[in-house]
Amino acid sequence: MFFWSNGNKNGLTSGPLTSGDQLRYSALHRSRTLSTSCCSVFLPVKPHRFVGETTPPISLFDYHQIHTWFALEDSTCGCLWYHAEHSSHSLSPSIVFLLLKPPLFSDHHLLPTSPQLTISVSTPQLDSLHRICLRSRWVYIGGLARAQADQKWQVKPKIDAPSGSSSDRSASVVAEAVNNQLSGLSLGESNANVKVWKPKSYGTTVSGSKVSVNQRKFYKGEFLDGFTVDKSSYCQAQIRATFYPKFENEKTDQEIRTRMIEMVSKGLATLEVSLKHSGSLFMYAGHNGGAYAKNSFGNIYTAVGVFVLSRMFREAWGTKASNKEAEFNDFLEKNRMCISMELVTAVLGDHGQRPLDDYVVVTAVTELGNGKPKFYSTSEIIAFCRKWRLPTNHVWLFSTRKSVTSFFAAFDALCEEGTATSVCRALDEVADISVPASKDHVKVQGEILEGLVARIVSSGSARDMENVLRDHPPPPFDGADLNLGLSLREICAAHRSNEEQQIKALLTSVGPSFCPSDLDWFGDESVDSHSKNADKSVVTKFLQSQPADYSTSKLQEMIRLMKEKRLPAAFKCYHNFNRANDVSHDNLYYKLVVHVHSDSGFRRYQKEMRHMPGLWPLYRGFFVDINLFKSNKGRDPMALKSNDNTVKDASENVGQQGKDGLADDDANLMIKLKFLTYKLRTFLIRNGLSILFKEGPAAYKTYYLRQMKIWGTSDGKQRELCKMLDEWAGYIKKKCGNKQLSSSIYLSEAEPFLEQYAKRSPKNQVLIGAAGNLVRSEDFLALVDGDLDEEGDLVKKEEVTPATPEPAVKEAVQKAEGLIVFFPGIPGCAKSALCKELLNAQGGLGDDRPLHTLMGDLVKGKYWPKVADERRKKPQSIMLADKNAPNEDVWRQIEDMCRRTRTSAVPIVPDSEGTESNPYSLDALAVFMFRVLQRVNHPGNLDKASSNAGYVLLMFYHLYEGKNRKEFESELIDRFGSLVKMPLLRSERSHLPDPVKSIIEEGIDLFQLHSRRHGRLESTKGTYAAEWSKWEKQLRNTLTAHSEYLNSIQVPFESAVQHVHEELKRIAKGEYKPPSSEKTKHGSIVFAAINLPVTQVHSLLEKLAASNPTMRSFLEGKKHRIEEKLERAHVTLAHKRSHGVAAVARYGQHLNREVPVELTELIFNDKMAAFTAHVGSVDGETIVSKNEWPHVTLWTAEGVTAKEANALPQIYADGKASRVLIEPPALVSGPLEFF
């Protein structure tokens, strides 16, 4: 608090200062435990004759727990700077100084340049003020604390003014706390000189310090409210932290694989693969730049991240850590860089496995600069990290066709049972370059591996990596044996009851290099009431202001586009506390967080980038510093723009360099590959908890069966998982009752259960992957699946029984079952009219099952339980569920009904192109609205008489938000196995008229505002009631004015009914085949083999029998059994159980290539028979089988496994088998395949 008073010090006045006035500045201390105290400075003001005073009589008094002296900017008196530091045994000495700046003094009446003053101190806490420097334009008082009392210091003449003051920032500086009690401080004359002491400069402010008037107004939003956008308004924006752009691949996984293999095979690119650690994104931009999580900052996630990063430095550098931390932070600040890491810890919630240690792995290094961010290549990241001894990830490079095809084959072989040890071992064997991680996943995370990330990089990446590995050897860990103090888990355990205390304890442990201030976490606590959040109008004014440089204009372009296209994103604004010292009414600083809510937002933005090549990418983890200012603040916007061409060119060059000569689509090719051992824990156990506890075991079973179907899990694994998950559901329900297990600590119960389950059999061990300390991963590949013989040759697919009960999805509807027809639509989609037509259709759906309907608008109470009751009463009937079914909750209820009553379900959806985030287009929505507003006397009261009909349709429309048409249809097909599209709009129609499009878009914007503030509150209530009323009237007028157009674009209803009727008849007869949902299924590879045509093998047997009596005798009575047993004829090349994953994977380069095979002899006895095979070559390369005896197994007797056929040559040599030579050898061929 600051004020000035006249000479008698009583009574506040205002107005210009006059001669004889005394100016009093007071800094008040506020504390929860101490009374308000005051430090005051009195200066006599004689504007025309101030220099005439010999020594200004300055008195400092009323010292009591001075917390901070503040600054004040005043048009009359200029700028006053107080600074005070806390003095204690553990902190640096305290100082006190005062700075005064004209126009208080006239240029014609300058102060003496060498006053001789003496300062005496009577307290041990503050030894003395050590100098007073008076120059022509400044008055400066400084002080130094010493552990001595009553000592006198003399002033050194002609001391320069303190540095750091600039014309473009407010002169106010907030200082740090002083908790000393000071008294008896006075100033007197002296002739001695003193040693000059330079105060330490701080870049940030400690929370809890007192705030200036400017800061109070800033925090309370007064400055923002008063910041009007005009011609002098400018803005400057700089990206403060960011992660890689997120590109959504529109291709299927198989298409991406194919393109990756093609590019590597042609030498256009290299495939880079890295481990996906199971943690969370953490970004660090230096001690001033800040710490960030994926979409937030200043929370427990970033506090944990800073602590773990600091601990990594101490482990790596040992006793040098403190200096290296300071150097590292200075380096990041000086070069405006950000490092991104995967933060893996046990204290932030469970993923697939609780890590054995808490750690970070650097995944990206970014130069933010003043333009478009530049991301380091992986080789550059490793060089950077080895310089600073930061943890790096395990990386593999595949630069040949052989290696890249081997990689994908290795993954397919391990996707259902891979763990960290087996995966890393296999990839080490097939990769061209393997760069081990600085921290072994098995030792710090454990055996459960989330997955792999494969992406296309430049063709020169392998060469660059080799150079880096040569020039930057792995660094030592000097602190490995040192006591690093309390661990993360110990600190969090000690403060479990209070998250704020956890954060403070963690930040205190970090030290000043990584955390000189806690402002990002707690703001300025000395302000009675303010929020870290700033008003959303910051974004509006940012977009309206003139950009001060090129980067700002590009960021404005991004945000403006996202808002115009209504992408699912939030723009969260916060006060930038670290720049609070610099704020004024026309110079404001904020932090902006761009939070994209769903992947559809990235997809839609990516599509816009194709139309606007200069558009900057949309980043994951996107934080921007924003400065709003007026051009008269001392900064010349033209000067800021003078470097625009340089920055622009640099940004564009960065973009070109990032592509490395690759086309945009190819440069962004990336695929994530996850392992079943991780997914069964996270997706099937953790994510299924809410369904299990809220909806019961039956709904949980439906959920996990659908997940496994989507993943394409093999039949054998599905059966094993069903058994395990059913047992888990019973176990956890019995233990927890109706109290749901928290997903953040689910492993506390799941891990012991999985450990005990794995102990029961080797098969269970393979299924679980690793649990507890009893399962050793090195044993996994030596185990044999009990349901398959060694080669897997002779077990027909049909013999693998599916899990029971069967999921709701079926290939065709059985006539003995019931049928539910339901409508994932919007009011106005004509479902009731369609149901009526279907009921009246002659012959029903072409069979004798009864057809009936249940209209939702006439049902009292909950609708879907009523449908379930009807299904139980009439299990073989066809039910037309005349009610909109717009979300997954309803779909799950329908799935549960299907499972319980052996019923199939068929969704009928209005056909529409949809938008990028909604399965229904604006054209379709306009027609639905038009139809509803034509209704009269609707049973559900949704018609032209309804005052909020438009709002209701918008509410239904937004229930589908987040899925485009392709995703919407694919999910329905995956769930129910069928889909019928009801024709709605003519394909040759003209575009939606602008007035109709505009009124609907206005309604969508209004709905989003309303729902953000009021949730599901009716539109007739709340803040926007008047706006809704106005919009509803405009909607009716607009649609009525374009009624001719809206009628003309619709497909005739009779035609639509006929189409739906025919499709339902096909489904009812079991003739329907569902369209592909385009989900690629890879399964799990067991072995590689050449698949031979069975007909040719049978023909060869018949020729041998005709020409050889011994052969004919052998085949008598066996031919039928051989035909039954021999599902496929093949030459096994390698089997992962016998030869290892890498051996199987290396055949990937020849996948689907035709390979010639010569059959030279038949060896047989009464237990088995097989052809000897000589495998040929492909493109001049001989295909070599890993089997000692390449052969084609024809037949085995009951109880004999195919593996035993490998011994036939030795059995023949022992005289216990017969041989028939084939002269000349029979030549057959077939594709090389994985099984």
Burial 1080-1107 (b: 16+ CB within 10 A, else e): eebbbbbbbbbbbeeebbbebbeebbee
The DSSP bridge partners found for residue 1192 are 1171
The candidate with the shortest Cα–Cα distance to 144, out of 196, 206, 106, 90, is 196
Hey, how many other C-beta atoms are within 10 angstroms of the C-beta on 1177?
12
Residues with Cβ < 8 Å from 500, sequence gap 6 or more?
522
Cβ 359 vs Cβ 305: under 8 Å: no
- What distance in Å separates the CA atoms of residue 824 and residue 957, rounded to the nearest whole number? 11
- What distance in Å separates the CA atoms of residue 1167 and residue 1173, rounded to the nearest whole number? 20
Question: What DSSP string describes 1043-1082?
Answer: HHHHHHTBPPHHHHHHHHHHHHHHHHTT---PPP------
Helix 965-976 to helix 888-901 angle (10° resolution) is 20
Residues with Cβ < 8 Å from 965, sequence gap 6 or more?
912, 913, 914, 919
Q: Which two three-digit tokens encode residue 707?
A: 């997940």
* SS3 of residue 78 by DSSP: strand
Asked if residue 805 has a cis previous peptide bond (ω within 30° of 0), the answer is yes
Q: Which of 46, 217, 276, 402 is catalytic?
A: 276
- What distance in Å separates the CA atoms of residue 438 and residue 905, rounded to the nearest whole number? 53
Cβ 371 vs Cβ 651: under 8 Å: yes
Cβ 582 vs Cβ 640: under 8 Å: no
Handedness of CA 178, 181, 183, 185 (dihedral sign): negative
CA dihedral 921, 922, 927, 933 (to 10 degrees): 130
Give the DSSP letter of residue 1216: S
Hey, how many other C-beta atoms are within 10 angstroms of the C-beta on 266?
10
* SS3 of residue 1104 by DSSP: helix
The candidate with the shortest Cα–Cα distance to 39, out of 6, 57, 66, is 66
Which residue is it, tokens 């928290």?
742
- What distance in Å separates the CA atoms of residue 1113 and residue 54, rounded to the nearest whole number? 133
Q: Kindly report the backbone phi and psi dihedral angles of residue 501, in degrees, each rounded to the nearest multiple of 5, phi listed first.
A: -70, -35
Cβ 854 vs Cβ 877: under 8 Å: no
Q: Kindly report the backbone phi and psi dihedral angles of residue 192, in degrees, each rounded to the nearest multiple of 5, phi listed first.
A: -90, 155
Cβ 767 vs Cβ 725: under 8 Å: no
> Is 276 known to be catalytic?
yes
For 130-186, the three-class secondary structure string (H helix, E strand, C coil) is EEEEECCCCEEEEEECCCCCCCCEECCCCCCCCCCCCCCCCCCCCCCCCCCCCCCCE
Question: How far is residue 267 CA from its own chain's centroid?
Answer: 32
Report the largest interatomic distance among the alpha carbons of the chain, rounded to a whole angstrom.
Answer: 136
3-state helix, strand, coil split of the chain in percent (to 5) is: 40, 20, 40
The candidate with the shortest Cα–Cα distance to 576, out of 587, 565, 563, 590, is 590
Cβ 144 vs Cβ 199: under 8 Å: no
Amino acid at 778: E
Query: What residues are annotated to the active site?
Result: 276
